Chain A
Amino acid sequence: MAVLKCDATIPERDKHILIKGEGQDGKCSIACNSATTPGDMTERGCTYAGCRGVVGGPVQDAIQLTHGPIGCAFFSWGYRPHIADSDFHMKYTFVSDMDESNVVFGGEKKLLQSIIEANEAFPEAKGVFIYNTCTTALIGDDGKDVAKIATEKIGKPVVFFPCEGFRGVSQSAGHHVGNETIFKNLVGTAEPEEDSAYSINILGDYNIKGDLRTFEPLFEAIGLNIVARFTGNVKVDELKVMHRAKLNVIHCARSATYVADMMETKYGTPSINVTLWGIENMSKALRDTAAFFGLEHEAEKVIKREVAKVMPKIEYYRKRLAGKKVFIYQGGPRAWHWPELLAELGMETIGAATTFGHADDYQKIYEKVNDGAFIIDNPNVPELEEILLTLKPDLFISGNKEKYVAYKLGVPFVNGHTYETGPYAGFSGMVNFARDMDKALSAPVWKLVKDMAQPVPGGLEEEVA
Chain B
Amino acid sequence: MKKLRYYDRPKRRSGLIRLIVWLLIIGVIFSLLVLFGVFKQDTVSESAKSPLPQAEQEALIPRGKELALAGDCFGCHSRSDGEKGAGGVPIATPFGTIYSTNITPDKDFGIGDYTREDFHRALKDGVGKKGNLFPAMPFVFTHITTDRDLDALYAYIMSIPPLQVPNAKNSGVFELPVRPFMNFWTLLNFPDRKVPIDENRSDVWNRGAYLVEGLAHCGACHSPRNFMMGVKFSDALAGGFESGMAIPDIRAERLAKNGYSVADLTQYLSTGIAPEGSSFAGMNTVTHFSTSQMNLSDVKAMATYLLTDSKGKLLTPEQSPIVYNQVVGRMKQGDREKGREYYMAACAGCHGLQGEGTPNVAPSLSHNAIVEMQDPQTFIGVILHGLQTTNYTNGQRMYAMPGFNGELKPEQIADLLTWIRAEWGGIDQGISTKEVDKAL
Specify whether A and B are partners: no
